[in-house]
Amino acid sequence: MSNILHVGLNCIEPILDMPTNRSIPNKRWHLAFTAIYSSRALYSLLNQKKKKSRKLPVPSNPSFVVLNVKPEAFSSIDHTTLTAIVNEKSFNKLLEFGGIEGVADALGTGIKNGIDGSVNDVALRREAFGSNTYQRPPAKRLFHFVVEAFKDLTILILLFCAALSLGFGIKENGAKEGWYDGGSIFGAVFLVISVSAVSNFRQNRQFEKLSKVGNNIKVDVVRNGRRQQISIFEVVVGDVVCLKIGDQVPADGLFLDGHSLQVDESSMTGESDHVEINSHHNPFLFSGTKVADGYAQMLVTSVGMNTTWGETMSTISRDTNEQTPLQARLNKLTSSIGKAGLAVAFLVLVVLLVRYFTGNTEDENGNQEFNGSNTKADDIVNSVVRIIAAAVTIVVVAIPEGLPLAVTLTLAYSMKRMMADQAMVRKLSACETMGSATTICTDKTGTLTLNQMKVTKFWLGQDPIEDSSLISTDLLNLIQQGVALNTTGSVYRATSGSNYEFSGSPTEKAILSWAVLELDMEMEILIKDFTILHVEAFNSEKKRSGVSIRSEADHNTVHVHWKGAAEMILAMCSSYYDASGRMKDIDDGERMTFEQIIQGMAASSLRCIAFAHKQIPEEEHEIRETSQKLEEDSLTLIGLVGIKDPCRSGVRRAVEDCQYAGVNVKMITGDNVFTARAIATECGILRPHQDINNEAVVEGEVFRNYTPEERMEKVDKIRVMARSSPFDKLLMVQCLKQKGHVVAVTGDGTNDAPALKEADIGLSMGIQGTEVAKECSDIIILDDNFASIATVLKWGRCVYNNIQKFIQFQLTVNVAALVINFVAAISAGEVPLTAVQLLWVNLIMDTLGALALATEQPTKELMERPPVGRTEPLITNIMWRNLLVQALYQIVVLLTLQFKGESIFGVNEKVKDTLIFNTFVLCQVFNEFNARKLEKKNVFKGIHKNKLFLGIIGITIILQVAMVEFLKKFADTERLNWGQWGSCLGIAAISWPLGWVVKCISVSKKPFLSYLRWQEHHFLLYVCTKF
């Protein structure tokens, strides 16, 4: 009995936990309910009835359900029913709950004020209906990337060589010492696999983190009467969400209020046509869809895994195995070098076998190795095994398996650093392509400017107004109506003494704050006094918005208010109000005066917004209502406002940096031509005396109406495009690409999506950018700052430059090692560098060298050279010059040591081979410094800043000393004395002055390999003419 009583009391405890903010009538309801429940529970205990068969009674009074935010408050509706209402678009089920208002009541949501929004309220809603997150597919484990690495053809060839070398080594030298070569190849392969797998694994994890950042969309919600921004993951069932053009619908829900709402449901249905959403015919909104037009408020009914979008996204994992163009080119290069190595190895194999079987080789005692039938079979097998091992060694040294690894390391490192510099990479290829950008087409607002707008000028009629008390009452009322009712923004004030909070776009916030603080506008009163009949929402093509309203006091008259770009609104007006409120006609002279006022404000870098009004009878409005169009003719101009948006402090320097780097910066804006020119001049895009006459400034409509030939001729000259539409931006991108430019484009609106997709690099804005724009972009600029775009350009060039440095460094090693072993094998029948030694060199170069050169940071020098062209070869003439001279020097020195080393140093063959190995490695260490600068002579500039590079050089030298002095048996080396170490260092150090001298030699800009193609072409022509 006591146990049952204890359970009963536990069930009562949550009910007794009454919120302190509950009203007195509701407290009484609560106490009454508690008393009824307690008496029933005691009655059941006395009659020994089972507690489990009883259900908690819910009072029928809806006020209790609305105000009680405990889980029991949602017992009248569950997430399954809510999900079914929207998924099935079921009006019948919706009506069963009393329509949208009934669902809102059941969820404890106020239509106007939203949910309570307290911590407990949100937590209980999450508990009852789930959170707005979805289960992601499990992340790929490290083992997956290990398996992927094993599939690489280069790795497979090396594993085959390792198996051959291991078998032949054990056959020739026994298991105790014969495993060294083969085992070291296996070790090297597994090390490369490990580094590659770990690098790819970490890159995958980095993509996951970036994906979380990218998916963390900010959403406008109304909680406790206050409009605020929260993360999409914090949205709960019952929230009232505010939607505008370009927004992603954050959850499933129902349309509450709004105008002209059209939604793109192609992500759900595949249909490209926009779907109209309203409260009468189709109030159902789906998570993941995009707002194409209009604005609205929605009631969230399902979140996370209870939405179709959540179920879909939980099955999709982001593919991070994207191969960039540069990676593809390097894989092709690696494959080509590998094939060349195989060909050389096969040639060496054939030559050595021929030499052996023709009796041209001698053993250690000077005797002929092959004497026909007199030679034992076992000796023949051992000799052939040794020859095959030499060929395998050449294959091993020829394959530059570190090239793809260098790209992976460089991209992973640059992505991480770019994130710290306010640029989030969505597509890896953009890192490389940005380095080749020749033109940047940028927006003005928020990118070149701060996006912190403020009304600084106000004109009524043809007079500037400084004091709002001078405005007539009727005219002031019209201005307040036009601001308060023709807006997507809102005003919130917690108490009468607290500060106002303004929400909406920067332009809307600037106008609202001006009207509230300067004109004493009471937005809430105006909203109550008028009914909104129809809305035409603002978009970047129309550049205006309109609304028709009816006063609650006068049902016979409809007021139409327009707001938008000043010259466009002026063109719709036939009259204007002066400061005293009198209406006057606009003749040609008056119109010219207004145009001069607008141009004057624009020349001061002000954005000009005009307000216009028309009063029409109810009967005329009913006739026009069928066409769903607002009155656009014969309007009366109310006034003009000038909005200041200051330029960002570092933007002029960033623009100059881009121009100095050979990158053209073009500004594409919706503002009028005078504002655009003023801002462009202030930012350094236009020179002070460049004007519309020399075609540097053009309007979007003019550019659009050019013939294709005229556009192609003039597009390079254009610096500013004003009054442009998204189509004009797309048209410019297409023209620039046709002329061979690599184009980067910024965009923040939904309509910018085509241009972002068309561009070589799409740059969306992280703060003002819509979700549609972000999804179409390659890189998201998190702080909306043009200076960050300049930083991305610098990083793009750095990625390309770092990879070129490593290619030059790696190929120097491969060319030198390949030629030395080939010449020695052909002439002497043996290779001076063993497989273990060559693999050690390759490991130093591939892993440590890649890490050292891939992590070089951007320098000012990168912005002093022109952009890399689309078709420019990966290995430039400068690189060919550097690597061939260094490789030639190493070949000459090492072959001299190979054939004359014993007599020069007075040492035996074993020490001579060690000297060759040690000198070769130290040459690479010194050449690593040369590789830091492809063109500059001072290779030590800024080296103190790269601690990782210096650390890797130190580790390399320490490991080399260990290989020579302590791992003699494994590395097949002999200890060297101080003099011999000094000689090796001296020979290797000559790489520095040699590198300095080589950079004094100028090279042709024509690609080196094109000469070979030219010779081949002329040879074929000669053959054709002869035969």
| Four-point Cα dihedral 941, 944, 948, 952, nearest 10 | 80
Burial of 397 (0-12, 13-18, 19+ CB in 10 A): buried
Pair 298, 277: CB distance under 8 Å: no
Element (H, E) at 825: helix 786-828
Residue 243 identity: L
Q: What's the rounded Cα separation, in Å, for the pair 406 and 408?
A: 5
- 422, 794 Cβ separation under 8 angstroms: no
Amino acid occupying residue 769: G
Residue carrying the six token digits 């690479």 = 924
Tokens describing residue 91: 């009006």
Closest alpha carbon to 683 in 986, 879, 447: 447
CA pair distance 654, 658, nearest whole angstrom: 6
Amino acid, res. 53: S
| Residue 435 near residue 773 (C-beta atoms within 8 A) | no
The per-residue DSSP string of 853-898 comes to: HHTPPP-GGGGGSPPPPTT--SS-HHHHHHHHHHHHHHHHHHHHHH
Q: Which amino acid is at 509?
A: K
Closest CA to 743 of 727, 759, 755: 759
Tracing tokens 């049952």 back to the chain, one arrives at 4
Distance CA 925, CA 961 (A): 13
Cβ neighbours for 57, distance < 8 A, ≥ 6 positions apart: 36, 37, 40
**Cα–Cα distance for residue pair 943/343, rounded to 1 Å:** 40
Query: How many Cα atoms within 13 Å fall on the side-chain side of residue 755?
Result: 29
**Bridge partners, 300 (sequence order):** 253
Sign of CA dihedral 381, 384, 386, 391: negative
Cα of first residue to Cα of last residue in the chain, in angstroms, is 114
- In whole angstroms, give the CA distance from residue 819 to residue 836: 18
How do strand 501-503 and strand 490-492 relate by DSSP bridges? antiparallel
Task: Give the Cα separation of 369 and 638 in Å (integer).
Answer: 108
Instruction: Give the integer Cα–Cα distance in Å for 265 and 86.
Output: 14
| Catalytic machinery residues | 443
Pair 1, 45: CB distance under 8 Å: yes
What's the Cα-to-Cα distance from 51 to each of 1, 17, 35, 47, 911, rounded to whole Å? 11, 21, 17, 11, 93
Contact 928, 938 (CB under 8 A): no
Q: Which two tokens stand for residue 136?
A: 């992601």
If you ran DSSP here, which 8-state letter would residue 520 be given? -
Burial, 965: exposed, middle or buried (Cβ in 10 Å; 0-12, 13-18, 19+)?
middle
User: Are 192 and 212 contacting, i.e. CB atoms less than 8 angstroms apart?
Assistant: no
Length of the chain: 1027
Half-sphere exposure of 742 (CA within 13 A, CB side): 20
H or E stretch covering 440:
strand 439-442
Instruction: Quote the CA–CA distance of 66 and 105 in Å, as a whole number.
Output: 6
